[in-house]
Amino acid sequence: MFSVHLSEIPRTISFRTGLMFLALFSCSFLALFGYIYWQTAVYLTSEADAALHRQVDNRSRQTPVLLEEEIRRHKIQDVEARLPHTLFDEQGKFIAGAIRTLPPFQAFDKPEEFRWETPNGSNRPIRFMVHRLDNNRILLVAQDMHDIREFDELLVNAMISGGSLLLLVGLVGAVLLGHSARRRLDTLSTSIKGIIEGDLSGRLPTRGNHDDIDRIAHVVNGMLDELERLMSEVKGVCDDIAHDLRTPLTRLIAGLERAQRRGLREDEYAETIDAAISEARGLMQTFRALLRISEIEGSARRSSFSEVDLNQIGADAAEFFEPLAEERGITLSFTPANTPALRSGDAQLLFDAACNLLDNAVKFAPDNGCIQVAVIVAPEGPGLRVSDNGPGIEPAEREAVFRRLYRSESSRHTPGNGLGLSMVAAVARLHDMTLTVYDAEPGCRMDLMSVRTV
């Protein structure tokens, strides 16, 4: 019947939680039912005692002769002896009534109980009260408690049967809950096993009900997305290093080999050494940029986060690149947000990211073109937008441009090492932001925007 062994169900947290709530609910049920039973029993007993006091008061007002006659008449009328009344003399000898023997009692005018053997042979619980009349005779008034005791017993049986049904349903529910949880955990375990065996594209299944397991699965899936991105990026970096760094290394080695083989003049040696130094510095700059990206992705800079205003960062970056844009006749405009664009972050990293976006825009914007920098305030938080009217980025390359050292064929002759946008993407991830490429029609638009965090 079950794909999960029953012996495994008691070890699940859901089953134990179900048992804990069943125990709590059972205790609450017993406490509530006990309180209702106690209140009901007290109420019925107090009503019987009040009735006994009323009967004593009524009988006490009657004359001795009328009292005796009424008791004899009452015995005839009360065939089932539900309300037996009896009159005794001063010594407790029977005069008239249903109960022929005065039961033992502790005090006058105090309700008590005893078991009465009725004339028809039944044994019934009787609540009675003894009162001494003005002529020293003894009046006993009583009430049959059989129906009340049966009602009490009915309540107790209802509690037992209801409690048993509650335990049965609760145990079945706990087993089903544990079985469901175990099956779900087995599904997650199977998915995790597949991921461990090398399928990094696999993800933990979710139900979409946003329960605790769903939330954990979403977090793990996000971690797997990041791992898959990093693994893909490492592979891409290795390919790009082999492709892009091979050329400067080849030029460096070729220049040194030519200098070694040929007898060059002193000025030619100096020129060769300068070229080698330039190539080596370019390589060092590339590796420094790679190390900086690794430092940013290590999240070590989060400790220095403070409240920063993107309006100020955007204005500083636009002002910094304005002279370079003017040299090529490019119009660089900045549009701040209408409200303060405050967010938590590292001001230096955000400034560097804005500068990299502007540097990329200046490189690819045509002469006498235009670049627009704007601060956008969205419901998720503030962000930065940089647009240019250059050639833009093809849709197929809009994700690849964020890889380290990636350079499209159209930009291979443009100065740079292919790490600017990679650094901006790393800063975006550190600040819980996204970097997205859009078509500016014409040109390219890059949005560095905040994302809503849970």
Quote the CA–CA distance of 195 and 66 in Å, as a whole number.
Answer: 100
Report, as an integer, the average pLDDT of 53-75: 88
Classify burial at 427, counting beta carbons within 10 Å of its beta carbon; exposed 0-12, middle 13-18, buried 19 or more. Answer: buried
pLDDT > 90: percent of the chain: 6
Domain end point (choices 246, 262, 297) = 297
317 and 293, same domain (yes or no): no
> Domain of 345: which CATH number?
3.30.565.10
Report, as an integer, the average pLDDT of 155-169: 84
205 lies in some domain = no
What pLDDT, on the 0 to 100 scale, is given for residue 454?
A: 47
DSSP secondary structure string for all residues of 222-233: HHHHHHHHHHHH
pTM exceeds 0.75: no
Q: Which domain holds residue 260?
A: 213-297
Residue with tokens 């006993």: 140
42 lies in some domain = yes
Provide the 3-class DSSP secondary structure of residue 440: coil
78-82, 227-231, 354-358: which is most confident: 354-358
Report, as an integer, the average pLDDT of 10-39: 80
CA-angle at 55, arms to 53 and 59, nearest 5°: 120
| pLDDT class of 237 with cuts at 50, 70, 90 | low
Quote the CA–CA distance of 361 and 333 in Å, as a whole number.
Answer: 12
11 and 147, same domain (yes or no): yes
What pLDDT, on the 0 to 100 scale, is given for residue 285?
A: 67
11-20, 32-41, 302-311: which is most confident: 32-41
208 lies in some domain = no
117 and 262, same domain (yes or no): no
pLDDT digits (tens, 9 = 90+) for 399-421: 777 776 666 655 555 555 567 78
Classify burial at 454, counting beta carbons within 10 Å of its beta carbon; exposed 0-12, middle 13-18, buried 19 or more. Answer: exposed
139 and 32, same domain (yes or no): yes
370 lies in some domain = yes
DSSP secondary structure string for all residues of 355-393: HHHHHHHHHHSPTT-EEEEEEEEETTEEEEEEEE-SS--
Domain end point (choices 262, 278, 297) = 297
Residue 426's CB is within 10 A of a number of other CB atoms, namely 23
Provide the 3-class DSSP secondary structure of residue 110: coil
What pLDDT, on the 0 to 100 scale, is given for residue 264?
A: 67
| Domains identified in the chain, total number | 3
